[in-house]
Structure 1
Amino acid sequence: MMNIALQISPLAQHAYFHQLVDVAQAELALISHQFKPELFEVAGLNWLCIETEPHHLEALSRLSWVQGIYEQVGDAMKPLDVSPNFALHGDFVQGIKYKGKTSEVLTQLLINVGLAYQSDQPLSTIKLLDPMCGRGTTLFWAMRYGIKASGIDADSQAIDDVQRNLKKLCKVHRQKHQLDIGFSGKKNKRGDGRYLTFSTEGRSMRLLTGDARECSQLLNGERFDIIATDMPYGVQHAANEKNVLLIQLLESLLSDWLQCLKKDGVIVLSFNAKNPRKTAVIKIAEQLGFLVDDLGMAHRMSESIVRDVLVLKR
């Protein structure tokens, strides 16, 4: 056994706020429930200390909140050269900023949660879908892991933005790649079915324009091991209106996404637990036949937003 100190990244503080330690411990438990983490602070930096076997080190390095791993030797801490073995440069997920972007820290958490439910599969065989993917943060994270990813977004501008970002990043980092844009089916004014594919280093992702409520149709019945997405937080409408609209939207979304899951697949859903309430989300999911796991990852972002994460198992 090794005594390990896991340095908590300041970026995670901005993602998980005052519940940082709770979320960190919940994510740590995905690797092993045997860990008994202890929190301490040195020079303004926060650390979680655990005892672990060496074979856990790579998985620990992939936790969304870990900035560095150190071995505790007496009163000293020795930095360990542990690589998460990610492909692509970190700029592909961290270097692109746009309005409405989900934190790349939270996005990595969603992927890690999904992978914990598919732990018996090699990464190269896992397929992931983000049906509300924006400009593709989830897709690029999946590529870094070696997961084949697909995404859908209703904004017809998303593909052009992603293409522009990719050209810039691939030039800066001299990343050899293949990039293709086309239409699946007939061209139409809304742009539904327009797609972008990006491949490099034997890894690939695909982004399509379309309605998240029509994933099964857009993807021609393709099925996925993991669906991971961050729902709209619904703070822009009047209270009664937004509750009704979001519940109706959620029912439509989950009903369609169920058709996109493989047997034993999971949906990892982050959402504002104040609107709709977590109890309403769980009720809808269970009515559709899902088994629901609450991992204790809720964290308050503002007075009107408490972000939470649920796992819906087929």
Structure 2
Amino acid sequence: MPAANRVYAESSASLMTAELGVFNQAVLGGSIEEVAVETIGGVPYLTFNAAELSEQAVRYLSNLSSIFALFRLAEDGGLYPVPLTKLDRLDDDLLTIQKYAGKTNEHFTKMLLNATIMSTASPEAMIERTLRVFDPMCGRGTTLNQALMYGYDAFGVDIDHKDFEAYSGFLRTWLQRKRVKHTIDAGPVRRDRKLLGHRFEATLGLSREEYKAGEKRQITLVNADTLASEDFFPAARFDVVVTDAPYGVQHGSRNAGGLSRSPLSLLEDAVPVWARLLRPGGAIGISWNTFVADREKAVEVLAGHGLEVFDDGPYRGFRHRVDQSIMRDIIIARKPL
């Protein structure tokens, strides 16, 4: 892609190979074979063999995180375009317009969401129905924006009030500027005269016609500790829980000692909370910095709370370097039915 982040682009081929492997296991029936990176006419391509690509298979492939175009490679060396059918329902500047230090690459966020959906008990739901996506440490909303882009309902919690104000302000302005039909409800959340947090909720139509017909999408943002998520959302509410854990500088929960800096201690406290909010058969996808917590220990935390961890095959292909201090990986686990 012309505007691709250079550092992420260096890893994108290997990352999308792993992502394609997850899709292949979940919804493509193992029909994708011999995946490789090849240079054709000076341009790097991800190539694969498939006896045939059904219309439904193309729908899935169209939503791979870093896909730019899909071609059929003929025996004469010619490239014949295969039209993409993306889920995208809104303008892509919803994902790209925000610029700030520490923003997670939007292609990576899409890949994490995709792989997590593919790991649920109903991966075909990705293109068949409206999913409910929850990010329990949502920051300034990259995951929530991607969920909205897919036409899903999005829910997030974050402890940082500045991030809460920045994202709710951005979303309010974006909806107005794009003339998206919507309503907004915002304010403090209290129970028994005690302040639990602050909530921002927008109800919107992906088109004017859908809004008039009552077909609306919801995005809810809460400013609170992630460990208090159950104060705001009912049990078994979400299809997937997807979050990009902060990389060892500060984390999304407070304890008696202050702001937690250990991702493992955060996960140990938070995973049971997140799991209770997840529907049976739903999946949790977490990215984190392996320099501050190794994979085996993260697997132990998730498995120790009764989740089925995916820890082989393509799921071992997501590790990649972000910078000198961050080696990022993904871990995904499913809640038993």
TM category (shorter chain) comes to: 0.7 to 0.9
Structure 1 partner of 2:153: 148
Structure 1 equivalent of residue 326 of structure 2: 305
Alignment of 1:1-314 (within 5 A): 11=4, 14-15=7-8, 17=10, 19-32=11-24, 33-35=30-32, 36-50=34-48, 51=50, 52-55=52-55, 56-73=57-74, 74-116=76-118, 117=120, 118-121=122-125, 123-185=128-190, 192-201=197-206, 202-221=216-235, 223-235=237-249, 245-294=262-311, 295-296=315-316, 297-314=318-335
Report the TM-score when normalising by structure 2: 0.80
Report the AA paired with residue 106 of structure 1: F
CA distance in structure 2 between the partners assigned to 1:167 and 1:258 by the alignment = 30
Contact 1:216 1:222 in 2 (8 A): no
Shift of residue 46, structure 1, vs aligned partner? 1.4
Q: Which moved more, 1:51-60 or 1:187-196?
A: 187-196
Deviation (angstroms), 1:84: 0.3
Secondary structure at the aligned position of 1:11 is classed as coil
Equivalent-residue separation in structure 1 for 2:99 and 2:304 (angstroms)? 38
CA shift, 1:198, in A, is: 4.2
Structure 1 distance, partners of 2:235, 2:250, is 33
Q: Indicate how the Cα distance of structure 1 residues 263 and 245 shifts in structure 2: closer, same or farther if over 3 A, else same.
A: same
Kindly indicate whether the alpha-carbon contact (under 8 Å) linking 1:12 and 1:105 is maintained by their aligned counterparts in 2: no
**2:77 and 2:238 mapped to 1: Cα distance?**
47
Q: 1:217, CA displacement in angstroms?
A: 2.2
State the alpha-carbon separation in 2 of the partners of residues 161 and 249 from structure 1. 24
CA 1:197–1:171: 2 relative to 1, 3 Å? closer
Which stretches in structure 1 are left out of the alignment for 5+ residues? 1-7
SS at structure 2 position matched to 1:29? helix
Tell me the TM-score normalized by structure 1.
Answer: 0.86
For residues 169 and 158 of structure 1, the distance between their equivalents in structure 2, rounded to whole angstroms, comes to 16
1:129–1:150: 8 Å Cα contact kept in structure 2?
yes
Deviates more, 1:29-38 or 1:171-180: 171-180
Aligned partners of 2:198 and 2:223 also within 8 Å: yes
| 3-state SS of 1:151 partner | strand
Q: Secondary structure at the match of 2:99?
A: coil
Counterparts in 2 of 1:222 and 1:288: CA distance versus 1, 3 Å:
closer
Q: Is the 8 A contact 2:190 2:196 kept in 1?
A: no
Offset at residue 207 of structure 1 (A):
0.8
Aligned to 1:5: none
**Structure 1 residue identity aligned to 2:293:** P
The percent identity for this pair of structures is: 26
CA distance in 2, matches of 1:249, 1:160: 24
Cα distance in 2 for partners of 1:217, 1:183 equals: 13
What is the DSSP-based 3-state SS (H/G/I as helix, E as strand, rest coil) of the residue aligned with 1:66? coil
Q: Do the aligned partners of 1:13 and 1:20 also contact (CA within 8 Å) in 2?
A: no
Over 3 Å counting, the alpha-carbon distance change for 1:157 and 1:187 in structure 2 is farther
Letter paired with 1:20: S
User: What letter corresponds to residue 143 of structure 1 in structure 2?
Assistant: L
Alignment-mate amino acid for residue 153 of structure 1: D
Structure 2, gaps ≥5 residues long: 25-29, 207-215, 252-258
Cα displacement string for residues 196-254 of structure 1 (whole angstroms, at most 9, x for unaligned residues): 324222322111111112212232435211000001111579xxxx9983322121111
CA distance in 2 between partners of 1:70 and 1:85 (Å): 19
Which amino acid letter does the alignment assign opposite residue 327 of structure 2? V
Report the Cα offset of residue 48 of structure 1.
1.2
The CA deviation at 1:283 is 1.4
- Could you tell me how far 1:175 is from its partner in structure 2? 2.7
Q: CA–CA distance in 2 between the matches of 1:243 and 1:203? A: 34
Give 3-state SS (helix, strand or coil) of 2:89's partner: coil
Count of aligned positions: 302
